Chain A
Amino acid sequence: MKPFSYFCPATVDEAIQGYGEAQETRFIGGGTNLLDLMKMGVERPAHLIDIGRLPLMKISPHGDGVRIGALISNTDAANHELIRTRYPVLTEAILAGASPQLRNMATMGGNLLQRTRCYYFYDPSYQECNKRTPGSGCAAIDGYNRIHAVLGQSPQCIAVHPSDMCVALTALDAVVQVKGPHGERSINMTEFHRLPGDTPQVETNLQSGELITAIDLPSIPYGKQSHYLKIRDRHSYAFALVSVAVVLDADEDGTMRHVRIALGGVAHKPWRATKAEKALTGEKADKKTLRAAAEEELADAHGYEHNSFKIELAKRAIVRAVTTVVGGQQNG
């Protein structure tokens, strides 16, 4: 990989000041994604700022909700008392991802910013990739596209965001706290990642040099009625083909007062299933209603040579995940 300089600041402000030229600098958290990309030559930073010693390693109550420091490891977040008891869907989602070794290293901030596993993005010896080299084309559209997007993609890019954690955060309406050269701000999880459009190289609404400091989870009284369903090619250590995070508030008779659904593995960002949510709110969770809501959510979906199955799979996954929660089989 390309030689780089290394700086390990002690404070958030030092980290932000040290950032310098955006193209050339990267923060490094656990390094489980960044280092792989550097070895492949996809990321070629000249400067690395190791944020591993920054004091962003606390999980604590925050208002009615919970704040998770950006440098908390995925393992620690998943296993924390406050998360396990109030937001078990987040625990499930994190533990469904990667392997214990990776989760021990991976940070919350890094997980938010992990990049797509599209084969053609991951290996610079492929010439076409609008995400890596804007304007070069998309090799996946006519290539091998089994793991690619069916919702919200563009002719420029059909990559998916691979994170499990982010799907749960999206369903939970988390808020990302950032600090940059121009101060602090909050970004709603649903606004954090972007659809590819004509600029697939711009993956989030984070500005250059901004550091993620924390993730805030709002209070959700019914947070325990939830489930993360991950469908993948093997039973562990594989990215989601399709995943569903469901958090809902159902009456004794099964009528759903509040429904939050997010999908993973189908789009360039975690996909908040607002159409399905609307169709289900106030309804009873019978198979027919669920199927109709899922149909509605996926109505605009579009597949390619190898991934069209994801459309039907996503529908069935929504039905299964909601049924599981209403049936009281998960996290109840």
Chain B
Amino acid sequence: MDDLIGQPLDRIDGRVKVTGRAVYAYEHDVPNAAYAVMVVSSIANGRIASMDTRAAEQAQGVLLVITHQNSLKVPGAQNQSKTSPPGHAVQALQDDVVYYANQPIGVVVAETFADAIAGAQLVQVTYAPQPPQMDLESRLADAYAPDKAGGGGDPAASHRGDVQAGMAEAKKSIDYVYRTPFEVHNPMEPHATIAVWNAPDRLTIYDATQGVFSDRGRVASVFGLPPENVRVISPYLGGGFGSKGPVWSHVILAAMAAKQAKRPVKLAVTRPQMFGMLGCRSETRQAIAMGAKSDGAITALRDDTVSHTSMFGEFVEAASLPARMLYQSPNNSTSQRLVRSNIGQPSYMRAPGEASGTYGLEAAMDEMAYALKMDPVEFRLKNYAETDPEENKPWSSKSLRECYLQGAKHFGWSKRPLEPRSMQDGNALIGWGMATSVYPTRRSVSNASARLNVDGTFSVDAGTQDLGTGTYTIMTQVAAEAFGVDAKQVRFRLGDTILPQTPVSGGSQTAASTGSAVHLASQALREKLIQMAIRDARSPLSGLGAQDVILNKGRLYARSNPARGETFRELILRSGQPHVEAKAEAKPGAEKDHYSMYAFGAQFAEARVDADLGQIKVSRMVGCFGAGRILNAKTARSQFLGGMIWGISMALYEYAAVDKRLGRWVNNNLAEYHVPVNADIGKIEAIWVDEKDDHVNPIGAKGIGEIGITGAAAAIANAVFHATGKRVRDLPITLDKVML
């Protein structure tokens, strides 16, 4: 089976999903389970003055109502956790303080879900409210500089050269503020947890989580248990987008409720409750100044970004990171600052930092290209960074130039008139815009094991998660290719802490980290099997050199004579062993010290804007990416397209609408929190440049889950400008912003 890796194999889990047989977190059949529903705060700042639970307690089916007055005390809830946003704390009913709207302040446990919901509506709460703080603009003076920025632990600020001198040298300069709004993840599957105490100090959790091991670690630390006493199971996820990476309050509350009710407990977060306690993409304010010579060379670039964090934790929406490394600007400075607000903890959301940051930077690049009367692609090529200008390191690989050229060709960019508002079709003004995509390539320590079973099939295990992205499928492909068997001969298991330890599925690192571990474990098993054969006098391969044995089409055979060989089943049966196993750990090496590692891309968009009514449609979009080795052409394409579609959402539709007086997001349901529907998506294509990168990791994959959203919003915003001649600098670009 040559080249199984890369094939557009259908999803291994596709059939069980579309037939409804895939069991998601809330659906595990746990005997004797009770149902828990959270009571949440309706104010954003203050204290709980009183909670009257009597009516709820007497309601039909209600077993228990937990508030801060009778909750199990879990001092570990305040512990810092390495696996959550730094300083992240859960709200586990330990006191009467309210930090944000929709904060959990109680749990009603009942015999049925309906009883629990009805009971929760009967809890009477009075508050001692304080005015909430939620506005960014009016509190810029209070902003502070954090120590670090972003998931990679980058410094919060950067400087090279002399920006002031660079600006003075410039022929053209721009200086604008770009804004992105609060966004809430809203995966299709709301968060849900089932907690079962198997013994007073043993806990099993069925959870919708992007990290079974980080979940285990956090829960164990909160309840003061050794991690091995906690088992976390998560075979299927209905999306996560980062929101299921950290361990949020409801997981702790499910376990607490199960302990206090002395019953297994199922807890589902309702859709309206998802707006607050489960993270968000923070609003950003990106002040960007740029100077350039008349030939287009950037002389200076400055990006000062401010975002929100919560009152109790710290997370930086590191939107200034792309401005550090994307262009060869000799004089460069960036900074990140934070204001504390009465919101749930902002956190990771698909391409945290880069998604927002490529909007500001790439819209500014477009403005500068117009100032210079230069084609936007040409302007970017003029400032192409051949090496990482911030780190002074070579790129492990970079195909951005090819992405610009191939993407432009595919889109038909060369026919674009430079002038804005120069293409029209009836009532529709038409515009073309483009932008650069970038996302760092990361990996973490990961383990995997591979086993040949007595029936000749293979089992491969790693604790990791499949968010719906295709982990089951690509891991199966990586293993099957190593063994030279059909994908059907390999059974890959994931989503359980009894399996080999793996990192959280975030930062687009699962393919790189766990894919490498699966690759190494499979290679190790392959070697073991070859050795078994060539050292066994009874094997037809006895006496051959290891390099002379080929694994293909389910057999091991001699390179020189394919008829000389045997099946895996023959090999293992003869050995008398129940199975043969190999394990491997893959960990980041020195590559990070020697190379800067990123995936890059270029996005092109066509926007049609109704000249009078302002309605916008992205009629066409092309994304071209250079993202290392593509493990499965089908799941990869879906990831790119999904990212690009979220970019359309970010550009045109999506925002959590803020009522600043109340400190609340008012559009907390999927009818009013708009993401694109089918009718909003025109012709959209993702293509990629073949890229071989021997430096990033053993399988050469860069991770593709996040790059698709980066640059997408800017490409669309730039297309809207090209269509209308009107520059909107705060997302989303709703019709009122362009029609007036």
Residues of chain A having any CB pair with chain B under 8 Å: 1-3, 39-41, 117, 119-120, 122-123, 125-127, 139, 142-144, 146-147, 231, 233-239, 241, 309, 312-313, 316-317, 319-320
Residues of chain A within 8 A of B669, CB atoms compared: 122
Residues of chain A within 8 A of B114, CB atoms compared: 1
Interface centre among A3, A40, A125, A127 (most CB of B within 10 A): A125
The stretch of B229-237, B541-549, B610-618 in contact with A is: B610-618
Nearest Cβ in chain A — how far from B270, in angstroms?
Answer: 9
A1 B736 Cβ-Cβ under 8 A: no
Complexed CA–CA distance, A143 and B617 (Å)? 29
The stretch of B565-573, B672-680, B721-729 in contact with A is: B672-680
Residues of chain A within 8 A of B734, CB atoms compared: 233
19 extra interface residue pairs, beta carbon distance < 8 Å, beyond A231-B615, A313-B614: A1-B114, A2-B121, A119-B668, A120-B666, A143-B661, A143-B662, A143-B666, A144-B666, A147-B672, A234-B674, A234-B676, A235-B615, A236-B677, A236-B678, A237-B677, A238-B671, A312-B739, A313-B736, A317-B613
Residues of chain B within 8 A of A235, CB atoms compared: 615, 617, 677, 679-680
Nearest Cβ in chain B — how far from A178, in angstroms?
Answer: 29
Report if B272 contacts A (CB, 8 A): yes
* Cβ-defined partner of B613 (8 Å) among A119, A122, A127, A313: A313
* Cβ-defined partner of B117 (8 Å) among A39, A120, A236, A317: A39
B612 A316 Cβ-Cβ under 8 A: yes
Complexed CA–CA distance, A313 and B272 (Å)? 31
Report if B312 contacts A (CB, 8 A): no
* Cβ-defined partner of B668 (8 Å) among A3, A41, A123, A234: A123
Report if B141 contacts A (CB, 8 A): no
B60 A234 Cβ-Cβ under 8 A: no
Given A119-B666, A234-B653, A241–B735 Cβ distance below 8 Å?
yes
A144 B659 Cβ-Cβ under 8 A: yes
Q: What are the nearest 7 A-B pairs in CB distance?
A: A125-B42, A309-B736, A236-B679, A119-B666, A235-B679, A316-B612, A144-B659
Residues of chain B within 8 A of A317, CB atoms compared: 613
Of residues 261 through 290 on chain B, the ones whose CB sits less than 8 Å from some CB of chain A are 272
A146 B680 Cβ-Cβ under 8 A: no
Residues of chain B within 8 A of A236, CB atoms compared: 677-680
Report if B740 contacts A (CB, 8 A): yes
Closest A residue to B101 using CB positions: A125
Residues of chain A within 8 A of B614, CB atoms compared: 313
Interface centre among A39, A41, A234, A320 (most CB of B within 10 A): A234
Report if B657 contacts A (CB, 8 A): yes
Q: How many A-B contacts at CB < 8 Å in the complex?
A: 87
Closest B residue to A324 using CB positions: B427
Complexed CA–CA distance, A140 and B612 (Å)? 28
A3 B42 Cβ-Cβ under 8 A: no
* Cβ-defined partner of A119 (8 Å) among B427, B672, B680: B672
Complexed CA–CA distance, A119 and B735 (Å)? 21
Interface of B is mostly: loop
Interface of A is mostly: loop
Report if B534 contacts A (CB, 8 A): no
28 pairs from A and B in contact (CB 8 Å cutoff): A1-B117, A1-B121, A3-B118, A39-B117, A41-B121, A117-B672, A119-B672, A120-B666, A122-B669, A125-B42, A143-B662, A231-B735, A233-B653, A233-B674, A233-B734, A235-B617, A235-B677, A236-B679, A237-B677, A238-B671, A309-B736, A309-B739, A312-B739, A312-B740, A313-B736, A313-B739, A316-B613, A320-B427
Complexed CA–CA distance, A123 and B652 (Å)? 26
A2 B680 Cβ-Cβ under 8 A: no
Complexed CA–CA distance, A119 and B101 (Å)? 15
Nearest Cβ in chain A — how far from B175, in angstroms?
Answer: 28
Of residues 709 through 740 on chain B, the ones whose CB sits less than 8 Å from some CB of chain A are 734-736, 739-740
Residues of chain B within 8 A of A309, CB atoms compared: 736, 739-740
Residues of chain B within 8 A of A126, CB atoms compared: 42, 662
Complexed CA–CA distance, A313 and B613 (Å)? 7
Residues of chain B within 8 A of A144, CB atoms compared: 657-659, 666
Residues of chain A within 8 A of B735, CB atoms compared: 231, 233, 241, 313
Residues of chain B within 8 A of A142, CB atoms compared: 661
* Cβ-defined partner of B739 (8 Å) among A39, A234, A316: A316
Complexed CA–CA distance, A235 and B675 (Å)? 11
Report if B204 contacts A (CB, 8 A): no
B666 A234 Cβ-Cβ under 8 A: no
CB-CB contacts of B170-201 with A at 8 A, as 1s and 0s?
00000000000000000000000000000000
Report if B667 contacts A (CB, 8 A): yes
Complexed CA–CA distance, A123 and B270 (Å)? 13
Residues of chain A within 8 A of B667, CB atoms compared: 119
Residues of chain B within 8 A of A146, CB atoms compared: 657
A3 B60 Cβ-Cβ under 8 A: yes
Complexed CA–CA distance, A3 and B612 (Å)? 50
Closest B residue to A239 using CB positions: B671
Residues of chain B within 8 A of A3, CB atoms compared: 60, 118
Nearest Cβ in chain A — how far from B441, in angstroms?
Answer: 34
Nearest Cβ in chain B — how far from A237, in angstroms?
Answer: 5
Nearest Cβ in chain A — how far from B340, in angstroms?
Answer: 22
Closest A residue to B649 using CB positions: A234
Closest A residue to B736 using CB positions: A309
Complexed CA–CA distance, A237 and B679 (Å)? 9
Closest A residue to B666 using CB positions: A119
Complexed CA–CA distance, A260 and B326 (Å)? 57
Complexed CA–CA distance, A100 and B117 (Å)? 29
Residues of chain A within 8 A of B674, CB atoms compared: 233-234, 238
Interface centre among B118, B659, B677 (most CB of A within 10 A): B659
Closest B residue to A125 using CB positions: B42
Of residues 17 through 73 on chain B, the ones whose CB sits less than 8 Å from some CB of chain A are 42, 60
Complexed CA–CA distance, A320 and B427 (Å)? 10
B657 A234 Cβ-Cβ under 8 A: no
Complexed CA–CA distance, A241 and B666 (Å)? 17
Complexed CA–CA distance, A238 and B669 (Å)? 12
Complexed CA–CA distance, A1 and B110 (Å)? 13
Nearest Cβ in chain B — how far from A308, in angstroms?
Answer: 9
Complexed CA–CA distance, A320 and B614 (Å)? 12
Residues of chain A within 8 A of B739, CB atoms compared: 309, 312-313, 316
A117 B671 Cβ-Cβ under 8 A: yes
Residues of chain B within 8 A of A312, CB atoms compared: 739-740
Complexed CA–CA distance, A244 and B619 (Å)? 25
Complexed CA–CA distance, A146 and B121 (Å)? 28
Of residues 218 through 239 on chain B, the ones whose CB sits less than 8 Å from some CB of chain A are none
Nearest Cβ in chain A — how far from B343, in angstroms?
Answer: 15
Complexed CA–CA distance, A139 and B659 (Å)? 10
Complexed CA–CA distance, A289 and B704 (Å)? 55
Complexed CA–CA distance, A41 and B652 (Å)? 32
Residues of chain B within 8 A of A233, CB atoms compared: 653, 674, 734-735
Nearest Cβ in chain B — how far from A83, in angstroms?
Answer: 23
Nearest Cβ in chain B — how far from A130, in angstroms?
Answer: 17
CB-CB contacts of B634-665 with A at 8 A, as 1s and 0s?
00000000000000000011000111011000
A234 B680 Cβ-Cβ under 8 A: yes
Interface centre among B666, B739, B740 (most CB of A within 10 A): B666
Closest B residue to A229 using CB positions: B613
Residues of chain A within 8 A of B680, CB atoms compared: 234-236
Complexed CA–CA distance, A219 and B653 (Å)? 41
Nearest Cβ in chain A — how far from B39, in angstroms?
Answer: 10
CB-CB contacts of B63-101 with A at 8 A, as 1s and 0s?
000000000000000000000000000000000000000
Residues of chain A within 8 A of B427, CB atoms compared: 320
CB-CB contacts of B673-692 with A at 8 A, as 1s and 0s?
01011111000000000000
Given A233-B674, A233-B735, A320–B612 Cβ distance below 8 Å?
yes
Complexed CA–CA distance, A236 and B678 (Å)? 8
Closest A residue to B669 using CB positions: A122
Closest B residue to A316 using CB positions: B612
Closest B residue to A236 using CB positions: B679
Residues of chain A within 8 A of B662, CB atoms compared: 126, 139, 143
Residues of chain B within 8 A of A125, CB atoms compared: 42
Complexed CA–CA distance, A146 and B272 (Å)? 20
